[in-house]
Amino acid sequence: MALRRTPLHALHRSAGAVMIDFAGWSMPLRYGSQIEEHHAVRADAGMFDVSHMTIIDMLDAHAGNGHAQALLRQLIANDVARLDAPGKALYGTLLNERGGIVDDVIAFRLPDRFRMVANAATRERVLSWCARWAADFTVAVEERPDLAMVAIQGPAAVKRFVAATGHSGAAALKRFQALTAGTWMIARTGYTGEDGLEVLAPYDDAAALWQRLAEGGVRPIGFGARDTLRLEAGLNLYGHDMDETTSPLESNLGWTVAWAPKERAFIGRDALEAQRGAKPAAQLTGLALTQRGVMRRGMRVATAAGDGVITSGVFAPSLGCSVALARVPRDAAGEAQVTVRGEPKPARLLRPPFWRDGARTFE
Amino acid sequence: MNELSGELAYAPTHEWARLDDDGRVVVGISDYAQEQLGDVVYIELPELDQDVSAAEESAVVESVKAASDIYAPVSGTVVALNDALADAPELVNEDPYGRGWFFAIEPSDPSQLEDLLDASAYSEHCESAAQDDADGEDA
Protein backbone atom coordinates (compact mmCIF):
# COMPACT_ATOMS: atom_id res chain seq x y z
CA MET A 1 0.00 0.00 0.00
CA ALA A 2 1.30 3.44 -0.89
CA LEU A 3 2.43 5.45 2.10
CA ARG A 4 0.65 8.70 2.87
CA ARG A 5 2.67 11.85 2.30
CA THR A 6 2.65 15.14 4.14
CA PRO A 7 2.83 18.47 2.26
CA LEU A 8 6.50 18.61 3.26
CA HIS A 9 7.41 15.28 1.67
CA ALA A 10 9.22 16.80 -1.33
CA LEU A 11 11.21 19.11 0.95
CA HIS A 12 12.32 16.15 3.10
CA ARG A 13 13.39 14.25 0.01
CA SER A 14 15.33 17.14 -1.45
CA ALA A 15 17.06 17.62 1.92
CA GLY A 16 18.33 14.05 1.63
CA ALA A 17 16.24 12.64 4.46
CA VAL A 18 16.17 8.93 5.16
CA MET A 19 12.43 8.23 4.97
CA ILE A 20 10.64 5.54 6.97
CA ASP A 21 7.17 4.05 7.15
CA PHE A 22 5.67 5.48 10.33
CA ALA A 23 2.09 4.32 10.90
CA GLY A 24 1.47 4.25 7.16
CA TRP A 25 3.08 7.63 6.52
CA SER A 26 6.36 8.33 4.77
CA MET A 27 8.19 10.39 7.41
CA PRO A 28 11.80 11.57 7.82
CA LEU A 29 13.94 9.45 10.16
CA ARG A 30 16.95 11.77 9.92
CA TYR A 31 18.45 14.26 7.50
CA GLY A 32 22.07 13.61 8.48
CA SER A 33 23.41 12.76 11.92
CA GLN A 34 20.53 11.98 14.28
CA ILE A 35 22.67 12.84 17.29
CA GLU A 36 23.53 16.26 15.87
CA GLU A 37 19.82 16.86 15.29
CA HIS A 38 19.13 15.98 18.92
CA HIS A 39 21.77 18.44 20.16
CA ALA A 40 20.46 21.18 17.84
CA VAL A 41 17.07 21.05 19.57
CA ARG A 42 18.60 21.11 23.06
CA ALA A 43 20.95 23.98 22.14
CA ASP A 44 18.89 26.18 19.83
CA ALA A 45 15.87 25.18 17.73
CA GLY A 46 14.68 22.42 15.46
CA MET A 47 11.51 21.74 13.50
CA PHE A 48 9.60 18.52 13.06
CA ASP A 49 7.02 17.59 10.45
CA VAL A 50 4.29 15.99 12.54
CA SER A 51 1.55 16.31 9.96
CA HIS A 52 0.83 12.60 10.36
CA MET A 53 -0.90 13.30 13.68
CA THR A 54 -4.65 12.85 13.79
CA ILE A 55 -6.51 16.14 14.35
CA ILE A 56 -10.15 15.93 15.37
CA ASP A 57 -12.47 18.89 15.94
CA MET A 58 -15.60 18.64 18.06
CA LEU A 59 -18.32 21.25 17.71
CA ASP A 60 -21.66 21.68 19.38
CA ALA A 61 -24.23 20.79 16.72
CA HIS A 62 -26.41 23.52 18.20
CA ALA A 63 -24.05 26.29 19.06
CA GLY A 64 -23.63 26.64 22.80
CA ASN A 65 -25.37 23.44 23.87
CA GLY A 66 -22.15 22.27 25.50
CA HIS A 67 -22.23 18.82 23.95
CA ALA A 68 -18.68 18.94 22.61
CA GLN A 69 -17.40 19.58 26.12
CA ALA A 70 -19.71 16.94 27.58
CA LEU A 71 -18.48 14.34 25.08
CA LEU A 72 -14.84 15.10 25.88
CA ARG A 73 -15.51 14.95 29.62
CA GLN A 74 -16.68 11.41 29.02
CA LEU A 75 -13.90 10.45 26.58
CA ILE A 76 -10.84 11.86 28.38
CA ALA A 77 -9.77 10.84 31.89
CA ASN A 78 -8.45 14.35 32.42
CA ASP A 79 -11.22 16.95 32.64
CA VAL A 80 -11.64 19.52 29.86
CA ALA A 81 -13.95 21.48 32.19
CA ARG A 82 -10.68 22.67 33.75
CA LEU A 83 -10.01 24.61 30.53
CA ASP A 84 -11.69 27.74 31.88
CA ALA A 85 -11.10 29.92 28.83
CA PRO A 86 -10.58 29.53 25.10
CA GLY A 87 -6.93 29.00 24.23
CA LYS A 88 -6.20 26.56 27.03
CA ALA A 89 -5.16 22.95 26.55
CA LEU A 90 -4.48 19.82 28.54
CA TYR A 91 -2.86 16.43 28.11
CA GLY A 92 -4.92 13.33 28.82
CA THR A 93 -5.78 9.79 27.90
CA LEU A 94 -8.79 8.19 26.26
CA LEU A 95 -9.61 5.01 28.16
CA ASN A 96 -11.60 1.93 27.34
CA GLU A 97 -14.09 0.50 29.85
CA ARG A 98 -11.33 -1.61 31.43
CA GLY A 99 -9.22 1.49 32.08
CA GLY A 100 -6.77 0.66 29.27
CA ILE A 101 -5.39 3.51 27.21
CA VAL A 102 -6.99 3.90 23.77
CA ASP A 103 -4.76 6.88 23.01
CA ASP A 104 -3.06 9.88 24.56
CA VAL A 105 -4.10 13.30 23.31
CA ILE A 106 -3.83 17.01 23.76
CA ALA A 107 -7.26 18.65 23.94
CA PHE A 108 -7.60 22.34 23.12
CA ARG A 109 -10.48 24.61 23.97
CA LEU A 110 -10.81 27.06 21.07
CA PRO A 111 -13.29 29.93 20.71
CA ASP A 112 -15.87 27.92 18.74
CA ARG A 113 -14.83 24.28 19.25
CA PHE A 114 -12.68 21.73 20.98
CA ARG A 115 -9.75 20.24 19.12
CA MET A 116 -8.02 17.00 19.94
CA VAL A 117 -4.61 16.00 18.59
CA ALA A 118 -4.25 12.22 18.67
CA ASN A 119 -1.65 9.81 17.35
CA ALA A 120 -1.33 8.61 13.76
CA ALA A 121 -1.06 4.90 14.56
CA THR A 122 -4.37 5.01 16.44
CA ARG A 123 -6.26 7.09 13.87
CA GLU A 124 -8.96 4.62 12.87
CA ARG A 125 -9.46 3.32 16.38
CA VAL A 126 -9.82 6.83 17.82
CA LEU A 127 -12.13 8.05 15.07
CA SER A 128 -14.46 5.08 15.50
CA TRP A 129 -14.24 5.37 19.30
CA CYS A 130 -15.23 9.05 19.18
CA ALA A 131 -18.02 8.37 16.69
CA ARG A 132 -19.39 5.61 18.90
CA TRP A 133 -19.65 7.78 22.02
CA ALA A 134 -20.70 10.87 20.09
CA ALA A 135 -23.92 9.10 19.16
CA ASP A 136 -25.29 10.07 22.60
CA PHE A 137 -24.77 13.77 21.89
CA THR A 138 -25.65 16.31 19.25
CA VAL A 139 -22.08 17.05 18.36
CA ALA A 140 -20.14 17.22 15.11
CA VAL A 141 -16.92 15.18 15.14
CA GLU A 142 -14.74 16.21 12.21
CA GLU A 143 -11.31 14.95 11.33
CA ARG A 144 -9.07 17.70 9.96
CA PRO A 145 -6.92 16.02 7.29
CA ASP A 146 -6.61 19.45 5.66
CA LEU A 147 -4.27 20.63 8.44
CA ALA A 148 -0.52 20.11 8.52
CA MET A 149 1.38 20.25 11.80
CA VAL A 150 4.89 21.54 12.42
CA ALA A 151 6.59 21.47 15.83
CA ILE A 152 9.30 24.06 16.50
CA GLN A 153 11.24 23.09 19.61
CA GLY A 154 14.24 24.30 21.55
CA PRO A 155 15.30 27.20 23.77
CA ALA A 156 15.34 29.57 20.77
CA ALA A 157 12.26 28.10 19.07
CA VAL A 158 9.71 30.76 19.98
CA LYS A 159 12.07 33.63 19.18
CA ARG A 160 12.95 32.14 15.80
CA PHE A 161 9.33 31.36 14.97
CA VAL A 162 8.23 34.91 15.75
CA ALA A 163 11.10 36.35 13.70
CA ALA A 164 10.29 34.09 10.75
CA THR A 165 6.50 34.51 10.71
CA GLY A 166 5.68 37.75 12.53
CA HIS A 167 3.24 35.91 14.82
CA SER A 168 4.41 37.85 17.87
CA GLY A 169 1.47 36.62 19.95
CA ALA A 170 3.21 33.26 20.19
CA ALA A 171 5.78 34.73 22.57
CA ALA A 172 3.08 35.61 25.10
CA LEU A 173 1.61 32.09 25.24
CA LYS A 174 2.16 30.12 28.42
CA ARG A 175 2.74 26.37 28.43
CA PHE A 176 -0.39 24.57 27.19
CA GLN A 177 -1.92 27.70 25.78
CA ALA A 178 -2.85 28.24 22.15
CA LEU A 179 -3.95 31.06 19.93
CA THR A 180 -5.79 31.03 16.65
CA ALA A 181 -4.68 33.36 13.89
CA GLY A 182 -6.89 33.02 10.86
CA THR A 183 -6.61 29.43 9.68
CA TRP A 184 -3.61 28.74 11.94
CA MET A 185 -3.48 27.47 15.48
CA ILE A 186 -0.27 28.10 17.41
CA ALA A 187 0.21 26.18 20.67
CA ARG A 188 2.94 26.24 23.28
CA THR A 189 3.22 22.47 23.42
CA GLY A 190 5.69 19.85 22.34
CA TYR A 191 7.27 16.46 22.80
CA THR A 192 10.94 17.20 23.47
CA GLY A 193 11.25 18.54 27.02
CA GLU A 194 12.16 21.95 25.60
CA ASP A 195 10.23 25.16 25.19
CA GLY A 196 8.54 25.44 21.83
CA LEU A 197 5.45 25.55 19.69
CA GLU A 198 3.25 23.29 17.65
CA VAL A 199 1.63 24.97 14.66
CA LEU A 200 -1.41 23.62 12.86
CA ALA A 201 -1.89 25.22 9.47
CA PRO A 202 -3.56 24.43 6.15
CA TYR A 203 -1.62 22.02 3.93
CA ASP A 204 -0.89 24.75 1.39
CA ASP A 205 0.81 26.93 4.02
CA ALA A 206 3.13 24.23 5.35
CA ALA A 207 5.96 24.36 2.81
CA ALA A 208 6.32 28.15 3.00
CA LEU A 209 6.33 28.00 6.81
CA TRP A 210 8.99 25.28 6.75
CA GLN A 211 11.19 27.20 4.34
CA ARG A 212 10.88 30.46 6.26
CA LEU A 213 11.83 28.70 9.48
CA ALA A 214 14.80 27.05 7.75
CA GLU A 215 15.96 30.45 6.50
CA GLY A 216 15.60 31.69 10.08
CA GLY A 217 18.05 29.09 11.37
CA VAL A 218 15.63 26.36 12.49
CA ARG A 219 17.04 22.96 11.63
CA PRO A 220 14.88 20.08 10.31
CA ILE A 221 14.78 17.20 12.78
CA GLY A 222 13.77 13.62 12.03
CA PHE A 223 11.85 11.01 13.98
CA GLY A 224 15.05 9.43 15.28
CA ALA A 225 15.94 12.51 17.32
CA ARG A 226 12.28 13.02 18.19
CA ASP A 227 12.39 9.65 19.96
CA THR A 228 15.59 10.37 21.95
CA LEU A 229 14.35 13.85 22.90
CA ARG A 230 10.99 12.64 24.16
CA LEU A 231 12.50 9.72 26.04
CA GLU A 232 15.04 11.94 27.84
CA ALA A 233 12.07 14.14 28.75
CA GLY A 234 10.28 11.08 30.17
CA LEU A 235 7.36 11.34 27.75
CA ASN A 236 5.54 8.14 26.84
CA LEU A 237 5.10 6.87 23.30
CA TYR A 238 1.72 5.32 22.61
CA GLY A 239 1.91 1.70 21.48
CA HIS A 240 5.26 1.27 23.21
CA ASP A 241 5.04 2.57 26.76
CA MET A 242 1.26 2.25 27.01
CA ASP A 243 -1.60 0.65 25.12
CA GLU A 244 -5.11 -0.70 25.61
CA THR A 245 -3.88 -3.28 28.13
CA THR A 246 -2.25 -0.74 30.48
CA SER A 247 -3.94 1.94 32.55
CA PRO A 248 -2.67 5.47 33.26
CA LEU A 249 -1.85 4.30 36.81
CA GLU A 250 0.50 1.67 35.36
CA SER A 251 1.90 4.16 32.82
CA ASN A 252 3.23 6.97 35.05
CA LEU A 253 0.18 9.03 34.04
CA GLY A 254 -1.81 9.04 37.26
CA TRP A 255 -1.36 12.84 37.30
CA THR A 256 -3.45 13.12 34.13
CA VAL A 257 -6.53 11.53 35.72
CA ALA A 258 -9.02 14.07 37.09
CA TRP A 259 -10.77 12.21 39.95
CA ALA A 260 -12.82 15.25 40.98
CA PRO A 261 -15.66 15.84 40.55
CA LYS A 262 -16.65 12.35 41.66
CA GLU A 263 -19.83 12.34 39.63
CA ARG A 264 -18.05 12.76 36.29
CA ALA A 265 -18.45 9.33 34.72
CA PHE A 266 -15.56 9.24 32.26
CA ILE A 267 -15.11 6.00 30.37
CA GLY A 268 -12.96 3.57 32.35
CA ARG A 269 -13.55 5.35 35.66
CA ASP A 270 -14.96 2.31 37.49
CA ALA A 271 -12.09 0.08 36.43
CA LEU A 272 -9.56 2.75 37.32
CA GLU A 273 -11.11 3.36 40.77
CA ALA A 274 -10.91 -0.37 41.47
CA GLN A 275 -7.29 -0.51 40.37
CA ARG A 276 -6.48 2.55 42.44
CA GLY A 277 -8.03 0.97 45.55
CA ALA A 278 -6.20 -2.33 45.11
CA LYS A 279 -2.94 -0.59 44.02
CA PRO A 280 -1.79 -1.45 40.52
CA ALA A 281 0.61 -4.39 40.24
CA ALA A 282 2.94 -2.61 37.84
CA GLN A 283 4.48 0.81 37.37
CA LEU A 284 6.15 2.50 34.43
CA THR A 285 9.40 4.06 35.49
CA GLY A 286 12.81 5.07 34.19
CA LEU A 287 16.12 3.27 33.94
CA ALA A 288 19.64 4.51 33.33
CA LEU A 289 22.32 2.03 32.33
CA THR A 290 25.53 2.48 34.32
CA GLN A 291 27.74 0.73 31.74
CA ARG A 292 28.31 0.93 28.03
CA GLY A 293 25.55 -0.59 25.93
CA VAL A 294 22.09 0.38 24.78
CA MET A 295 18.83 -0.77 26.33
CA ARG A 296 16.17 -1.58 23.73
CA ARG A 297 12.48 -2.30 23.79
CA GLY A 298 11.66 -5.83 24.96
CA MET A 299 14.78 -6.40 27.08
CA ARG A 300 14.23 -8.01 30.48
CA VAL A 301 14.71 -6.00 33.68
CA ALA A 302 15.46 -7.86 36.92
CA THR A 303 14.72 -6.06 40.21
CA ALA A 304 14.53 -7.12 43.85
CA ALA A 305 10.72 -6.89 43.56
CA GLY A 306 10.55 -9.09 40.45
CA ASP A 307 11.04 -8.87 36.71
CA GLY A 308 9.90 -6.27 34.25
CA VAL A 309 10.44 -5.27 30.65
CA ILE A 310 11.83 -2.29 28.73
CA THR A 311 9.09 -0.51 26.78
CA SER A 312 11.38 2.09 25.11
CA GLY A 313 15.15 2.36 25.24
CA VAL A 314 17.71 4.54 23.51
CA PHE A 315 21.18 5.94 23.69
CA ALA A 316 20.51 9.38 25.17
CA PRO A 317 22.77 11.98 23.50
CA SER A 318 22.33 14.65 26.20
CA LEU A 319 23.12 12.18 28.97
CA GLY A 320 25.88 10.13 27.35
CA CYS A 321 24.38 6.83 28.39
CA SER A 322 21.42 4.62 27.63
CA VAL A 323 18.08 5.42 29.27
CA ALA A 324 14.79 3.59 29.05
CA LEU A 325 11.25 3.41 30.23
CA ALA A 326 10.32 0.08 31.75
CA ARG A 327 7.25 -1.56 33.21
CA VAL A 328 8.31 -3.18 36.48
CA PRO A 329 6.60 -4.41 39.66
CA ARG A 330 5.02 -1.66 41.77
CA ASP A 331 7.57 -1.87 44.56
CA ALA A 332 10.68 -2.01 42.39
CA ALA A 333 13.24 0.70 43.24
CA GLY A 334 16.98 1.25 43.38
CA GLU A 335 19.24 -1.07 41.45
CA ALA A 336 18.24 -3.31 38.57
CA GLN A 337 19.85 -5.53 35.98
CA VAL A 338 19.00 -5.36 32.31
CA THR A 339 19.80 -8.23 29.98
CA VAL A 340 21.54 -6.57 27.04
CA ARG A 341 22.36 -9.02 24.27
CA GLY A 342 22.42 -11.93 26.70
CA GLU A 343 24.56 -10.16 29.26
CA PRO A 344 23.19 -8.76 32.56
CA LYS A 345 24.20 -5.11 32.97
CA PRO A 346 23.67 -2.86 36.00
CA ALA A 347 21.09 -0.08 35.78
CA ARG A 348 19.38 2.33 38.15
CA LEU A 349 15.66 2.79 38.47
CA LEU A 350 14.92 6.51 38.27
CA ARG A 351 11.80 8.54 38.12
CA PRO A 352 11.47 10.18 34.68
CA PRO A 353 12.16 12.74 33.30
CA PHE A 354 15.88 12.24 32.82
CA TRP A 355 16.22 15.75 31.39
CA ARG A 356 14.35 18.87 32.53
CA ASP A 357 14.84 22.63 32.13
CA GLY A 358 18.05 22.28 30.21
CA ALA A 359 19.78 19.90 32.61
CA ARG A 360 19.99 16.24 33.58
CA THR A 361 17.93 15.20 36.58
CA PHE A 362 20.34 12.60 38.00
CA GLU A 363 24.06 12.11 38.56
CA MET B 1 25.62 5.74 -4.24
CA ASN B 2 27.92 5.44 -1.29
CA GLU B 3 31.61 5.92 -1.40
CA LEU B 4 33.73 2.88 -2.16
CA SER B 5 37.44 2.33 -2.12
CA GLY B 6 38.90 0.32 -4.99
CA GLU B 7 41.83 -0.87 -2.88
CA LEU B 8 39.65 -2.77 -0.47
CA ALA B 9 37.96 -6.14 -0.44
CA TYR B 10 34.43 -6.37 0.95
CA ALA B 11 32.43 -9.02 2.74
CA PRO B 12 28.72 -9.43 1.86
CA THR B 13 28.11 -8.57 5.54
CA HIS B 14 29.55 -5.06 4.85
CA GLU B 15 33.00 -5.28 6.43
CA TRP B 16 35.99 -4.13 4.41
CA ALA B 17 39.48 -5.64 4.52
CA ARG B 18 42.75 -4.10 3.42
CA LEU B 19 45.96 -6.09 3.08
CA ASP B 20 48.82 -3.84 4.19
CA ASP B 21 52.47 -4.17 3.13
CA ASP B 22 53.35 -5.71 6.49
CA GLY B 23 50.97 -8.59 5.80
CA ARG B 24 48.32 -7.47 8.27
CA VAL B 25 44.68 -7.21 7.27
CA VAL B 26 42.95 -4.05 8.54
CA VAL B 27 39.19 -4.35 9.06
CA GLY B 28 36.38 -1.80 9.14
CA ILE B 29 32.82 -1.37 7.95
CA SER B 30 31.77 0.13 4.65
CA ASP B 31 30.32 3.56 4.02
CA TYR B 32 27.09 1.82 3.03
CA ALA B 33 27.04 0.01 6.39
CA GLN B 34 27.63 3.14 8.48
CA GLU B 35 24.94 4.97 6.52
CA GLN B 36 22.48 2.14 7.20
CA LEU B 37 23.35 2.00 10.90
CA GLY B 38 23.13 5.73 11.56
CA ASP B 39 25.20 7.34 14.32
CA VAL B 40 27.48 4.80 16.00
CA VAL B 41 27.46 5.13 19.81
CA TYR B 42 29.51 2.19 21.10
CA ILE B 43 31.89 -0.37 19.65
CA GLU B 44 32.94 -3.59 21.33
CA LEU B 45 36.25 -4.69 19.86
CA PRO B 46 37.82 -8.15 20.20
CA GLU B 47 40.78 -8.69 22.55
CA LEU B 48 44.35 -8.30 21.38
CA ASP B 49 45.84 -11.72 20.51
CA GLN B 50 42.36 -13.18 20.16
CA ASP B 51 41.98 -15.72 17.37
CA VAL B 52 39.14 -14.97 14.99
CA SER B 53 37.67 -17.03 12.17
CA ALA B 54 36.43 -15.82 8.82
CA ALA B 55 32.70 -15.00 8.85
CA GLU B 56 32.60 -15.33 12.66
CA GLU B 57 31.36 -12.60 15.01
CA SER B 58 34.34 -10.66 16.27
CA ALA B 59 33.03 -7.22 17.23
CA VAL B 60 29.76 -5.41 17.91
CA VAL B 61 28.66 -2.01 16.65
CA GLU B 62 25.91 -0.33 18.61
CA SER B 63 24.25 2.51 16.73
CA VAL B 64 21.25 4.69 17.44
CA LYS B 65 19.27 2.13 15.45
CA ALA B 66 20.47 -1.30 16.58
CA ALA B 67 23.33 -3.49 17.70
CA SER B 68 25.05 -5.32 14.85
CA ASP B 69 27.64 -8.08 14.81
CA ILE B 70 30.82 -7.49 12.87
CA TYR B 71 32.31 -10.55 11.20
CA ALA B 72 35.99 -11.12 10.65
CA PRO B 73 36.60 -11.12 6.88
CA VAL B 74 39.54 -13.53 7.24
CA SER B 75 40.82 -15.91 9.91
CA GLY B 76 43.81 -15.05 12.04
CA THR B 77 44.98 -13.33 15.20
CA VAL B 78 43.99 -9.82 16.29
CA VAL B 79 47.21 -7.78 16.40
CA ALA B 80 45.96 -4.18 16.64
CA LEU B 81 42.87 -2.34 17.88
CA ASN B 82 41.65 1.15 17.08
CA ASP B 83 41.52 2.48 20.64
CA ALA B 84 40.31 5.89 19.40
CA LEU B 85 36.85 4.42 18.85
CA ALA B 86 36.20 4.15 22.60
CA ASP B 87 35.97 7.96 22.94
CA ALA B 88 35.08 8.81 19.35
CA PRO B 89 32.73 6.18 17.89
CA GLU B 90 31.58 8.83 15.40
CA LEU B 91 34.84 8.20 13.49
CA VAL B 92 33.08 5.18 11.99
CA ASN B 93 30.48 7.50 10.47
CA GLU B 94 32.86 10.26 9.53
CA ASP B 95 35.72 8.27 8.04
CA PRO B 96 34.73 4.60 7.66
CA TYR B 97 37.71 3.67 5.44
CA GLY B 98 40.29 5.66 7.41
CA ARG B 99 40.22 6.71 11.05
CA GLY B 100 37.13 4.60 11.63
CA TRP B 101 38.98 1.27 11.22
CA PHE B 102 38.19 -1.41 13.83
CA PHE B 103 41.08 -3.86 14.21
CA ALA B 104 43.89 -5.57 12.34
CA ILE B 105 44.40 -9.30 11.87
CA GLU B 106 47.54 -11.29 11.23
CA PRO B 107 45.90 -13.64 8.72
CA SER B 108 46.43 -17.37 9.02
CA ASP B 109 45.43 -17.87 5.39
CA PRO B 110 45.76 -14.68 3.29
CA SER B 111 44.16 -16.45 0.31
CA GLN B 112 40.82 -16.01 2.09
CA LEU B 113 40.94 -12.41 0.86
CA GLU B 114 40.23 -13.75 -2.60
CA ASP B 115 36.84 -15.03 -1.40
CA LEU B 116 35.74 -11.44 -0.71
CA LEU B 117 34.05 -9.04 -3.15
CA ASP B 118 35.80 -6.35 -5.12
CA ALA B 119 34.39 -2.82 -5.16
CA SER B 120 32.15 -3.33 -8.17
CA ALA B 121 30.75 -6.67 -6.98
CA TYR B 122 30.13 -5.16 -3.53
CA SER B 123 28.47 -2.13 -5.09
CA GLU B 124 26.04 -4.42 -6.95
CA HIS B 125 25.42 -6.30 -3.72
CA CYS B 126 24.47 -3.04 -1.94
CA GLU B 127 22.27 -1.88 -4.79
CA SER B 128 20.25 -5.06 -4.68
CA ALA B 129 19.93 -4.72 -0.89
CA ALA B 130 18.80 -1.11 -1.32
CA GLN B 131 16.31 -2.23 -3.93
CA ASP B 132 14.81 -4.73 -1.49
CA ASP B 133 14.42 -1.89 1.00
CA ALA B 134 12.87 0.43 -1.56
CA ASP B 135 10.22 -2.15 -2.40
CA GLY B 136 8.74 -1.41 0.99
CA GLU B 137 8.94 2.37 0.43
CA ASP B 138 7.14 4.62 -1.95
CA ALA B 139 10.20 5.83 -3.85
Give the pLDDT of residue B132: 73
Summarize pLDDT for A233-268 with one digit per residue, the tens. 999 999 999 999 999 999 999 999 999 999 999 999
Alpha carbon B10 to its chain's center = 8
Residues from chain A that touch B138, judged by Cβ atoms under 8 A, are 2-3, 5, 26
Is B116 a member of any domain? yes
Does the pLDDT of residue A79 top 70, yes or no?
yes
Spatial contact of B80 and B47, defined as CB atoms under 8 Å apart: no
Indicate the helix (H) or strand (E) that contains A315: strand A306-316
Determine, yes or no, domain membership for B1.
no
Chain A hits for B133, Cβ within 8 Å: none
Helices A223-232 & A34-43 angle (0-180, nearest 10): 50
Average pLDDT score over residue span A67-83: 98
Mean pLDDT (chain B, rounded) = 92
For A5, the closest chain B residue by CA position comes to B138
Residue B2 lies in a domain: no
ipTM above 0.85, yes or no: yes
Q: Does any domain span residue B63? A: yes
Question: What per-residue confidence (pLDDT) applies to B137?
Answer: 47
Sequence letter at residue B139: A
Residue A296 pLDDT greater than 90, yes or no: yes
Residue A247, number of CB atoms within 10 A of its CB:
26
**Across residues B102-128, what is the average pLDDT?**
95
Among residues of chain B, what percentage have pLDDT more than 70? 93
Element (H, E) at A72: helix A67-75
Tally of residues, chain B: 139
Q: Is residue B136 scored above 60 in pLDDT?
A: no
User: Would residue B137 count as lying in a domain?
Assistant: no
| Residue B126, pLDDT above cutoff 90 | yes
Peptide bond into A111 cis (omega under 30): no
Smallest CA–CA separation between A284 and chain B, in Å? Answer: 23
Report yes or no on B42 lying in a domain: yes
Q: Are A300 and A346 in contact (CB under 8 A)?
A: no
pLDDT per residue over A133-162, tens digit each?
999 999 999 999 999 999 999 999 999 999
Contact status of B39 with chain A (Cβ, < 8 Å) = yes
CATH (domain of B117): 2.40.50.100
Q: Is B67 touching A (CB cutoff 8 A)?
A: yes
The DSSP bridge pattern shows strands A219-220 and A46-49 to be parallel
Q: Does A21 contact B41 at a Cβ distance shorter than 8 Å?
A: no
Mean pLDDT within A58-86:
95
Dump pLDDT digits (tens) for A168-201: 999 999 999 999 999 999 999 999 999 999 999 9
Flag whether residue B93 sits within 8 Å of chain A, measured between CB atoms: yes
pLDDT tens by residue, A30-63:
999 999 999 999 999 999 999 999 999 999 988 8
Residue range B52-63, pLDDT digits in tens: 999 999 999 999
DSSP string, chain B: -----TT-EE-TTSEEEEE-TTS-EEEEE-HHHHHHH-SEEEEE---TT-EE-TTSEEEEEEESS-EEEEE-SS-EEEEEE-GGGGT-TTHHHH-TTTTT--EEEEES-GGGGGGSB-HHHHHHHHHHHHHHHHTTS--
Q: What is the count of structural domains for chain B?
A: 1
| pTM of the shown model | 0.95
Q: Residue B124 domain-assigned?
A: yes
Angle at A257 between CA A253 and CA A259, to 5 degrees: 145
**Can you give the residue range of the structural domain that contains B33?**
9-129
Taking the C-alpha atoms of A193, A194, A196 and A201 in order, what is their torsion angle to the nearest 10 degrees? -40
H or E element: which one contains A141?
A: strand A139-143
Chain A residues touching residue B136 (CB < 8 angstroms):
21
pLDDT band at B134 (very low <50, low <70, confident <90, very high): low
Chain B residue nearest residue A317, CA to CA: B41
A64: pLDDT strictly greater than 90? no
Beta-carbon separation of A315 and B64 below 8 A: yes
- B113 lies in a domain? yes
